[in-house]
Amino acid sequence: MSDQTRIISSLQLFCYGFLTTPIAVAGFALVIYIPTFYAVDLGLGLAAVGALFMFGRVFDVISDPLIGYLSDRTRSRYGPRLPWMVLGLPGLVLSVWLLLSPPEGAGLWYLICVSAAFFLFFTIVDVPYSSVGLEVSPNTNERTYLAGSKAAFQVVGALIASLVPILFATQMGASLHVLALIVVGFSIPAILLFLFGVPRTAQNETLHNVGLLEASLYALRHRDYRLLIGAFFLVQAGNALTAGLMVLFITQIVGRPDLIGHFFLLLFASTAIFLPVWIWLSIVRSKAFSWVCAISVACLSLAFACLIGSGQIWLMAGLSIVIGAAFGADATMPTSMLADLVSKGESEGQPKRAAMLLALKNAVSKLTFVFPMGLAFPVLELAGLDKTGSNSPIALLTVVFFFAVLPILLRLLALLVLSKTMRSKKNGNGINA
């Protein structure tokens, strides 16, 4: 089949991406609301809850490649991905319900058990589901559309999760209960749309006797994959620092904690609005070029963050819009470029590795979100940052460094790595750059 054969319709793109919405609602609630709710509202303590969720990320680094490896080797009449999704979705929905709607008196052991189930079932659903977008179409542009559809519905989920506490103006416990109802309500039609609206992926007819360790080492030995994951890690680490420090930046530098929700809404809305721009640019030029442009725009905007001071709301609003715009390319282009690598490998007779390679990418992404908690927060504490009172110039400069300066440096390194990918493409050896 020609690489440019069109097989995915607009309706099928919708059916594929819609499942991302309930998954994103659950994931956003886990990152933004759950730790504070259990630590403060339920009184379990910041240290205990923080350590638990750090362990959950480490658990993901192990479970993601394992589920990806097993999914790649699955054979069934419904393909290699669907059985895992159907198996995992009920467990994910139940664990989300228990996590967001805990019974009265829920303690640390309750959180340990329910969060462990959430992390496991989230991986069981998300890794095979995301792998479908890498392999369902032979068309390189359609693979970008598939990644874009997933990114767009991810923004929808994030917007829902951020709007609910504002619209209902209730206590966090009641807002989390509403979010749990949304996850349950959206999951049922989402899986039905996927079952009946998305083409099946092909079976892995020749299952090579390759172990998990050997499959992981293959990915690390593959030059194009190393370059892609290296650039992705650097960009995501920068994103994690900027997103993780954004609340502190708005509170301490801009001095408007009452507008935190509004700035986040601007960021997510901008991601959705500018997503078609990056996809169009990837088609008329290349995927790596589109990503390089987004990284460069983010670097320039973060440089202006150093000029933002107290009460400068409009500058902060503009920064939120530009950062959000760049996030769309960060969410779409690496996945689409990975899909090209998978397609190239399978066309050369290599075994199916889509889920395994994607799972390693996911594990790298999750590791980067340790940066704010493991690197920035301890240094900020040493700098004497007081979240509730006045702060010294050194403490405020430290916030700016982790919010803007270090992310700029990480993105500049990513640009250097991507330049090697683009040179490899010019020499006829690289992925679709």
Q: 43: alpha, beta or left, given left = phi > 0 and alpha = psi -120 to 50? A: left
Q: Which CATH number fits domain 212-433: 3.40.50.300, 1.20.1250.20, 1.20.1110.10, 3.30.160.270?
A: 1.20.1250.20
Q: Is the pLDDT of residue 185 over 80?
A: yes
Give the pLDDT score at 121: 93
The listed range with the strongest mean pLDDT (68-72, 329-333, 402-406) is 402-406
Q: Is the pLDDT of residue 4 over 60?
A: no
Give the pLDDT score at 202: 58
Window from 46-55, 95-104, 279-288 with minimum mean pLDDT: 46-55
Contacts of 398 (CB under 8 A, 6+ apart): 379, 380, 383, 385
Give the whole-angstrom CA distance, residue 277 versus residue 414.
21
Q: Is the pLDDT of residue 344 over 60?
A: yes
Give the pLDDT score at 18: 94
Contacts of 128 (CB under 8 A, 6+ apart): 67, 71, 80, 81, 82, 84, 85, 355
Q: CA of 283: how far to CAs of 1, 4, 16, 278, 429, in Å?
A: 20, 12, 21, 9, 20
Give the pLDDT score at 310: 84
Q: Is the pLDDT of residue 424 over 70?
A: no
Q: Is the pLDDT of residue 46 over 80?
A: no
Q: Does residue 6 or residue 347 have the better pLDDT?
A: 347
Please say whether the beta carbons of 338 and 430 come within 8 A. no
Q: How many CB atoms lie within 10 A of CB 376?
A: 21
Domains 7-198 and 212-433 belong to one CATH topology = yes
Q: Does residue 282 or residue 424 have the better pLDDT?
A: 282
Contacts of 357 (CB under 8 A, 6+ apart): 68, 134, 219, 225, 338, 341, 342
DSSP label at 39? Answer: I
Q: Is the pLDDT of residue 322 over 90?
A: yes
Contacts of 39 (CB under 8 A, 6+ apart): 45, 46, 48, 49, 50
Q: Tell me the pLDDT band of 281, cut-offs 50, 70 and 90.
A: very high
Give the whole-angstrom CA distance, residue 18 versus residue 22.
8
Q: CA of 125: how far to CAs of 65, 325, 396, 408, in Å?
A: 13, 28, 41, 34
Please, what's the largest Cα pairwise distance for the chain? 64
Q: Give me the percent of the chain exceeding a pLDDT of 90.
A: 21
Taking each helix axis from N to C end, the angle separating 223-248 and 287-305, rounded to the nearest 10 degrees, works out to: 30
For 206-221, what is each residue's pLDDT tens digit?
Answer: 445 455 556 566 667 7
Assign a CATH topology to domain 7-198: Growth Hormone; Chain: A; (1.20.1250)
0.75 cut: is pTM over it? no
Q: CA of 428: how far to CAs of 134, 341, 421, 422, 433, in Å?
A: 22, 14, 11, 10, 10
Please say whether the beta carbons of 237 and 391 come within 8 A. no
Q: φ, ψ for residue 101 (rounded to 5)? A: -125, 65
For 346-382, what is each residue's pLDDT tens digit?
Answer: 666 666 666 667 777 777 777 776 666 567 767 777 7
The listed range with the strongest mean pLDDT (288-302, 368-382, 391-405) is 288-302
Give the whole-angstrom CA distance, residue 207 versus residue 182.
39
Q: Residue 336: name the closest of 404, 282, 274 by CA.
A: 282
Give the pLDDT score at 2: 40
Give the pLDDT score at 321: 93
Q: 12: alpha, beta or left, given left = phi > 0 and alpha = psi -120 to 50? A: alpha
Q: Does residue 158 or residue 353 have the better pLDDT?
A: 158
Q: Which two tokens stand for residue 348?
A: 């050369």
Task: Return the domain boundaries, the chain.
Answer: 7-198, 212-433
DSSP label at 73? Answer: T
